[in-house]
Amino acid sequence: MNEGVVVMDTVRILSGNDLNSIVEPQSLISVLEKCFIKYSEGRTQVPNRTVMWIKGNWWGVMASHVPGAGVGVKIVSVIPSNRDKGLPTIPGIVVLFDDETGIPKAIMDGAVLTGLRTAATSAISVKYLKPGDGGTMTIIGAGYQAVYHLWFIGSVFKVEKLKIYDLIKDNAEKFRDHAIDKGIPDVKVVDELEEALRNADIIVETSTTTTPVVMRRGLNDRVHIVSIGAHTRESRAIENEVLIDSTLIVVDSKEATFNETGDIYEPLSKKLIDEDKIVELGVFLKNIEDYRNLGGITVYKSVGLAIQDACAAAYINERSERLGIGNLVEL
C-alpha cells in the first residue's frame, strides 16, 4: 500500500426504486415521530435554507443535524415544466453524513425521499386525529405527492371510499386507476370541489393551488384535514372559516408555518385565530393524551423541514445496509 494514500469509506447510492422497495410505512412513521419530538425539544440543528432562482425556477439547499441520525443535506429544485417532459417536478438528491467523521454515508433520490417523508409525516397526524378507523378520504391534487399520501395514510386509516379532485382531468383519471390497482374498493373522480369535500372523513390537499380549495361549506362536523400546499405568505389552500371553526391546528414547525404559508400567517396576522389553537407536531406527540378524542375539525399544516430528510435518510440507509440494497462507490 502506498504511504500517504487516504482510502475513503464507500458511499451507498440509492435510486428512487431502491427507496420505494426499502420503506415500511409504519416503521418510517415511527422514526419521524421520534424525530419531531427531538425537534420540538430543541435537540436538532436546522439552519435557514439557502434559496436561489434560476430561469424562473426555485432551487434550495437544506441542511440539518439530528442526534442519532446524522447530518442530512438536500439539494432540490422545483421545476413545474418538468411535468410536460415526464420528469419529476421536484428533482434533487439527499446526502447523509456521519456526524462523527463527516464522511458521507449515502446519496439518494431526493424526489422520492421527499414524497416518502412528507406522506409519512402527514400520516402521523391522521394516525392520532382520524375520526375513526376507516371511511371516506378525499384527495385534492392528484400528482406525485398524492400517490405517497394514499400509501402512507392507507397504513393508518382504512380507505373505504376515495374521492379525487384535480383541475387536470387526465391526472385525476390516472390516479383513479392507480388507486383501483392498490385495492381501494370505491374510487370516484369528482368535478365539483364541494362534492369532493362533502362527507369526507379525511381530506388531503396535495395541490399547487394559491387560492383556497378546502372550504368550510360541505365539511363533516368531524373531519381531519391534511394540507401540504401553499408555501408562500401570498398563497392559500385552506379557507379562513375552516381554521376559525377548527378545534386544533397541528403544524410541523411554528416558526416555519407562521412565516412561510399564508394559511397560517394571514389568519394569525388578522387575529382571526388564536395562537393557542396551534400546536407543534413534536409537542402534540409528547402530550398525545391531551389531544385524544377531539371532536370537530382538526387540521395538519406542513411546509416541510430538513430534519425529515435526515431522519428518513438515516432510516433508509440502515435498512439498505441490512438488506444489501444499493450500489457502493468508493469516493
The band of 7, judged by pLDDT with boundaries at 50, 70 and 90, is low
Least confident of 3-7, 38-42, 134-138: 3-7
Contacts of 238 (CB under 8 A, 6+ apart): 205, 212, 214, 225, 227, 230, 263, 299, 301
Domain ranges (residues) in the chain? 11-114+307-326, 116-304
- d(C-alpha 154, C-alpha 90), whole Å: 24
The band of 331, judged by pLDDT with boundaries at 50, 70 and 90, is confident
Residue 158 has pLDDT above 50, yes or no: yes
Strand partners, 297: 223, 246
Q: Taking residues 203-221, what's their average pLDDT? A: 95
Cα 304 to Cα 100, 116, 254, 293, 315, distances in angstroms: 26, 12, 11, 27, 18
Per-residue buried b or exposed e for 275-285, using 16+ beta carbons within 10 Å of the residue's own CB: eeebbbbbbbb
Q: Taking residues 65-82, what's their average pLDDT? A: 94
Asked if residue 148 lies in contact with residue 119, where contact means CB atoms within 8 angstroms, the answer is: yes
Three-state DSSP at 281 gives helix
Thinking of the domain 116-304, which architecture would CATH place it in? 3-Layer(aba) Sandwich (3.40)
Thinking of the domain 11-114+307-326, which architecture would CATH place it in? 2-Layer Sandwich (3.30)
Question: Cell 395562537 appears where?
Answer: 275
Crossing angle (nearest 10°) for helices 306-323 and 25-40: 140
Half-sphere exposure (CA, 13 Å, Cβ side) for 30?
Answer: 6
User: What is the predicted pLDDT for the residue at 52?
Assistant: 95
User: What is the predicted pLDDT for the residue at 86?
Assistant: 80
Three-state DSSP at 299 gives strand
Residue 2 has pLDDT above 70, yes or no: no
pLDDT tens column, 253-279 = 999 999 999 999 999 999 999 999 999
pLDDT tens column, 95-123 = 999 999 999 999 999 999 999 999 999 99
Residue 84 has pLDDT above 90, yes or no: no
The band of 1, judged by pLDDT with boundaries at 50, 70 and 90, is very low
* Bridge-based pairing state of the strands 223-227 and 202-205: parallel
Let me know the angle formed at the C-alpha of 242 by 184 and 40, rounded to the nearest 5 degrees.
85
Q: Taking residues 217-242, what's their average pLDDT? A: 95
Question: Cell 411554528 appears where?
Answer: 254
**pTM of the predicted model over 0.75:** yes
Q: Taking residues 16-34, what's their average pLDDT? A: 98
- d(C-alpha 118, C-alpha 120), whole Å: 5
The band of 202, judged by pLDDT with boundaries at 50, 70 and 90, is very high
